[in-house]
Chain A
Amino acid sequence: MAAVGETAPETEARRLAEDARDRVRFEEEALDLADQVYRVARRMVSSREEAEDLMQETYARAFRSWRSFQPGTNLRAWLLRILTNLNIDRGRRVQRSPDMQPLEEGDYFLYNRLEESTQGQNPDEERVLERLSQDDAVSALSAVPHDFRDAIVLVDIGDFSYNDAAQILDIPVGTVMSRLHRGRRILKQELAERAVADGGDSR
């Protein structure tokens, strides 16, 4: 702890003042991003209560360890990295990718199912999605296994790049891409089931 050389009291005072100013700025910037962080957090967990707890733990830890944030890097990604780690610490195990049969129709699944169910009426994709309600999207997304869902939520809702998502989840970029790919397929399959079940008279 011994200082190298002498530190005049006023230099020390200035350092403390600068430190306090940096911290205040950090806290303000982090709070400004809270809405965006929450939108992602909310879909990483199953309930609002869980998301709120996780947000508080995340911000408490972020404010405590603000010095480890490197100014000029992506603060939103840094906060989500903390949040993701806390979420795992809270008991969510890192999930092994389930061995899944590739879906026969792959990416065309939803498209084809929706087309089929509007048979003979000159299918109009402008309208097929209108058959799905807001609840359909929420329940379909929560039916996606969480490892895949996290990738979708970060990229599609959080607007993170593949690189940022890889850093947040601490996995290689290639894994982000494959999880997105498989996760989106599962999501579409889930949506297709709901669209067909709604039978065309949902909102």
Chain B
Amino acid sequence: MSGYAIDPCDQCEEMIQPFLDRELSEEERQVAESHLDGCDYCRKRYKFEERLRRYVRQAVTESMSPELKAKLAELRTPLI
């Protein structure tokens, strides 16, 4: 806790998740990007979060079995 109302790194930290979710407004994105340009610490944090997310996403992704795919297709309304 820095004790300051607006610490640029705190503000940047708060933007990490919506930034990676592509949910920031154009204006907010620019604020985040210009801070990131000059702040090694925050840039490192962003990179870490991004990598973490990619790892989780890849690790937990499981494909559907061909059997299930076939079963779903069978649920279609038969053509008369």
A binding-site residues for B, Cβ under 8 Å = 20, 23-24, 27, 31, 34-35, 38-39, 42-43, 48, 52, 55-56, 59-60, 63, 107, 110-111, 125-126, 129, 132-134, 136-138, 141, 155-157, 161-162, 177, 180-181, 184, 187-188, 191
Partner of B68 from A55, A111, A126, A141 at Cβ < 8 Å: A55
Q: Which residue of A lies closest to B65 (CB)?
A: A52
Q: Are A43 and B63 touching (Cβ within 8 A)?
A: no
Q: Are B79 and A56 in contact (CB under 8 A)?
A: no
Contact B73 A31 (CB under 8 A): yes
A56 touches which one: B45, B49, B56, B75 (CB < 8 A)?
Answer: B75
Complex Cα spacing A56 to B77, Å: 14
Q: Which residue of A lies closest to B71 (CB)?
A: A56
* B-side interface residues, number (CB < 8 Å): 33
Chain A, Cβ-Cβ closest to B59: A137
A136 to B52, CA, bound (A): 12
Task: Say yes or no: B17 contacts A181, CB within 8 Å.
Answer: yes
Given contacts A38-B68, A110-B52, contact A63 B57 (CB under 8 A): no
A129 to chain B, nearest CB (A): 5
In the assembled complex, which residues on chain A have CB atoms less than 8 Å from the CB atom of B72? Answer: 31, 34, 55-56, 59
Known: A38-B64, A129-B55, A137-B55. A27 touches B17 (CB 8 A): no
Chosen A-B contacts, 11 in total, with CB atoms closer than 8 Å, are A34-B64, A42-B62, A55-B64, A56-B68, A56-B71, A56-B75, A107-B16, A129-B55, A137-B59, A157-B60, A162-B21
Q: With contacts A38-B68, A107-B13, A180-B17 known, is A63 near B77, CB below 8 A?
A: yes
Contacts of A107 in B (CB 8 A): 13, 16, 49
In the complex, the chain A residue whose C-beta lies closest to that of B73 is A31
Are A141's CB and B56's CB within 8 A? yes
Would you give the shortest CB distance from B54 to chain A, in whole angstroms? 9
Q: Which residue of A lies closest to B48 (CB)?
A: A125
Q: Chain A interface secondary structure, helix, strand, loop or mixed? A: helix
A129 to B47, alpha carbons, bound, how many Å?
12
Within the complex, the shortest CB–CB distance from B52 to chain A, in Å, comes to 6
Contact of A38 among B23, B59, B63, B79 (CB under 8 A): B63
Chain B, 35-54, CB within 8 A of any chain A CB: 44-45, 47-49, 51-53
Residues of chain A lying within 8 A (CB to CB) of residue B21: 155, 161-162, 180
Q: In the complex, what residues of A have CB within 8 A of residue B23's CB?
A: 161-162
The 10 A-B residue pairs with the shortest CB-CB distance, nearest first, are A137-B59, A38-B64, A134-B59, A59-B72, A27-B76, A125-B48, A129-B55, A42-B62, A59-B75, A137-B56
User: Are the CB atoms of B47 and A20 closer together than 8 Å?
Assistant: no
